[in-house]
Amino acid sequence: MDKKMADGYREHIRIVVGDVPTLLFTDDSGRHAVVMYNEGGNVQIGFSGTVASKGMTLADGQGFTDNYSKDGWWGVASSGESGTVSGFKVI
């Protein structure tokens, strides 16, 4: 597994997601890592166009780090629900 240092400038986010896919992080070839944390709610994260159908469940209180891809990340909550995703990208 390719491990990269999380040294660098951090751009933080805190976004409430609903049942419509919401962009969390844009695709960025200059970033080193993305860290996401589910503050609460039933949230799925994934890539554009697939987050609702093939997204990965990010359970309440769970975190996820992507230090490999440079793709954009999206979040979506279950129908009629919402959740909050916080985190940062390292550039």
Read off the pLDDT band of 2 (50, 70, 90): low
Query: Percent of the chain having pLDDT more than 70?
Result: 92
The per-residue pLDDT for range 35-68, each reduced to its tens digit, is 999 999 989 999 988 898 889 999 999 999 999 9
- State how far the Cα of 36 lies from the Cα of 85, in Å rounded to an integer: 7
pTM attached to this predicted model: 0.87
pLDDT at 87: 96
In Å, how far are 14, 71, 72, 83 from 3, measured between CA atoms? 25, 17, 19, 29
Q: Residue 5 pLDDT > 70, yes or no? A: no
